Structure 1
């Protein structure tokens, strides 16, 4: 096998932390190399060095056998390297075609050739089995659809090496299948893929080799066919990880939340209840209305009809502020878009929704009290950060997610809504988040978990509610829920029809 890219001895330091410590990676021509590791293992830093975003402090990069230095993304692109970033880098008010060719516009006679650009973009969209026009504005697309546009951007560069950083994170099963078909086509064209994913089952489906990192160091390289999922997890976390979904049983209390005949901009005839100490999982395909339901309860979307009762009392919630006053907290699926302010520190993000509780008699923030509570959450949640004053954008995805959850918990909620709580989070951090969820449950908190990961829903929930086309198609107890039943409801079959058969 020919190494098209060979990286060795890479060191990269940031203030207070060594992100890469002798890291290495081999990329083989016409093969898919998985790059695996927990959040904070150094994967994204390594990719930013490969693509010229960061400069290494030490180490060697060889491209086609020759030592190279990429002094910016353009030099990396000119060498035939493209990256699909985990975080979306799209401009909502531009069309799909304009986003795909941004900075590389197709021209004729020194002017943009719009017909050619839309035509070429449509060809790429068709290759990805996307049915919308490249003239569509990106702002009208869902998160999953935007992720596919990021993939289309990389394909448009006709690169020899394509780095895919969590490419399926927001995709439906159908979109994921389309992506895998594209990867197989690229490999058949002798192109090379670096594939970063926390979804280990995908590694065995699509990858030829795997490189495992931990704490910025190279740990292992192996042929995927020769290893197991347990081997990967143990190498990633440095220990054996037992009880992936450590569910606990608790005695359920009174009904804390009751939703009756809820209708609105994005919901239809919603009826369900939630007890103290209960985890209600909400399943469904992308576009089913799960997030929209959560945001309606949280006051982001208006209801046109129906009632919400908390502890038996009817409440009116027309804004997130009113939701917080009624002890409801929501952790968004889009932590960087809705949940966190990347330019602020860990402390500022964590206490943002709870500033009133830190007011002193002079209506000023008691910074000492604020710091004490933030420090308690950092310790309790095992958040890896040099200090609480570190900018949140410098933390790994898993640690950012812990800060987002801590921010919600600091408001002392009775009802906690977690929307895709482990999206983009590694297996070790997932286990820590699951343990925290169980602790909240044990304390009597009522929890709603929205998740696209079936094992997560089945593993943690006391009951599972399935949605399709903005309404509920079934609610299952833990004992009666199966993956088959949930999937049937997710495509529109009513639970009553399943029970009859």
Structure 2
């Protein structure tokens, strides 16, 4: 790459959250037309340094220069107006209002008539132009955000940022929320920005993706910049070792190739119907079994996970446990020792403004109450601390707000909530979304351990290697129906499965 004057210089940036050092004297330089990758374990500082550049938060120390001027944005809107826009890892849109109102949030005055009333027709026309400009065809400006799925909401967020034509686009773990078509759209936008001599800061845990997309790659570990690789220096093993400070030890996926389970059926769905999303779905999950469900993002598999947890009001069918108890609500599910990890963890699995302690303890009160039915502070702390220790949740202490954690550590909190209360059935929707390779390995080994303990696990995933590597059975869904089933086999390949998804 021919280096010109830097477009962004971040010098000696430090950031602390209480006693946790998120960034320690990190310096980063980005050039025009560069696609800069940021990679590292969860909590390494990737999102923190990019969010400081994008105005989401302030550094404790350091200096930023953007387009040869001092850069101290007061907010994300201020940064976006100035030329740096960020698509955040989790939800960056607001429910309860339309797509158009999200896109033009804080700018609705542009569409007010002389009476101070927003001209909805004009607003929708302009918002539809924004969506069409980046190739979004299945979302309309008048749609309510709450009616969109996770991927569609993320595409709206991308459109909102791209509308401002930023000089630097920050993409934080966005591809994990997108299907194949969504990723193709995003990669096209990245190429377009590069061709316009604009820059991209691209954060991902997917090593294959980040080495394909990026020109340079910076590795962060424990809040420190470890190394920057140029394109010709990319080497998967070197990058992994730089990320985690060691070589990965032990197995990654399962090493056996035999489908095994106990005879008892732990959970069964019979003729499940939900609008056009689920059509007469029948599914059984045995004790000591990992059942994987795969398909395109819109196939209905995410709705199936919610249905089995009692989170949807079904149009027909029923969900029944081993004891014959019908699951009609989330409360029913939890009382029957069913845990649910949502793909959309920030809104459906966590209370972000609450502490780690409160998020983990809420599902386990029946476990740690004393003989008199009282909850003591000591019992609660001991219960939560065990999960923090067992899952290696990186935090200042259990009273830290969940919103301050990295994506991977948030996911560990969700796991801790359901494992701590000894859930017998776990419904895991994209359980390794947004987590680094080391945490992924730990989660896979935890799933194997739980399977050996006789727990029943339903794993919904958009990652075929994960499905094939972990599942006893793989069910493929398409258009709201289960279209094919595969048993675990050494010879089963991604090519065997893909044809049934499309």
Do the two structures share a fold, i.e. TM-score over 0.5? yes
Alignment counterpart, residue 256 of structure 1, candidates 249, 262, 265: 265
Residue of structure 2 in register with 1:494 after alignment? none
Residue of structure 2 in register with 1:22 after alignment? 25
**1:218 equivalent in alignment to 2:221:** no
Residue of structure 2 in register with 1:296 after alignment? 307
Stretch of structure 1 that moved more, 263-272 or 226-235 = 263-272
**1:58 equivalent in alignment to 2:71:** no
Say whether the 8 Å CA contact 2:81–2:164 is kept in structure 1: no
Could you tell me how far 1:481 is from its partner in structure 2? 3.3
Secondary structure in structure 2 of the residue aligned to 1:190: coil
Mapped partners of 2:177, 2:245: distance in 1: 28
**Mapping of residues 82-161 of structure 1, within 5 Å:** 82-105=85-108, 106-107=110-111, 117-131=123-137, 132-161=139-168
Mapped partners of 1:444, 1:109: distance in 2: 64
Alignment counterpart, residue 170 of structure 1, candidates 151, 169, 177: 177
Mapped partners of 2:70, 2:313: distance in 1: 58
Q: When the two structures are superposed, what TM-score results if normalisation uses the length of structure 2?
A: 0.92
Mapped partners of 2:351, 2:180: distance in 1: 30
Secondary structure in structure 1 of the residue aligned to 2:219: strand
Alignment counterpart, residue 336 of structure 1, candidates 325, 328, 346: 346
Mapped partners of 2:7, 2:316: distance in 1: 60
**1:7 equivalent in alignment to 2:10:** yes
Distance of aligned partners of 1:351 and 1:11 in 2 relative to their CA distance in 1, 3 Å threshold: same
Could you tell me how far 1:114 is from its partner in structure 2? 5.2
Mapped partners of 1:445, 1:207: distance in 2: 41
Mapped partners of 2:314, 2:71: distance in 1: 58
**1:410 equivalent in alignment to 2:416:** no
Mapped partners of 2:451, 2:386: distance in 1: 19
Could you tell me how far 1:196 is from its partner in structure 2? 0.9
Mapped partners of 2:169, 2:267: distance in 1: 48
**Mapping of residues 73-472 of structure 1, within 5 Å:** 73-105=76-108, 106-107=110-111, 117-131=123-137, 132-242=139-249, 245-249=252-256, 252-257=261-266, 259=268, 261-265=270-274, 266-303=277-314, 305-306=316-317, 308-311=319-322, 313-472=323-482
Say whether the 8 Å CA contact 1:245–1:456 is kept in structure 2: no
Say whether the 8 Å CA contact 1:8–1:23 is kept in structure 2: yes
Q: Which residues of structure 1 form unaligned runs of 5+?
A: 492-501
Secondary structure in structure 1 of the residue aligned to 2:324: strand
CA-to-aligned-CA distance 1:4-58 (integer Å, 9 cap, x gap)? 1111211112211111101121111012111111111111211222123322222
Say whether the 8 Å CA contact 1:257–1:308 is kept in structure 2: no
Could you tell me how far 1:264 is from its partner in structure 2? 2.5
Could you tell me how far 1:81 is from its partner in structure 2? 1.1
Q: How many residues align?
A: 490
CA-to-aligned-CA distance 1:156-179 (integer Å, 9 cap, x gap)? 111111111112121110111011
Q: Which residues of structure 2 form unaligned runs of 5+?
A: none
Q: When the two structures are superposed, what TM-score results if normalisation uses the length of structure 1?
A: 0.92
Residue of structure 2 in register with 1:496 after alignment? none
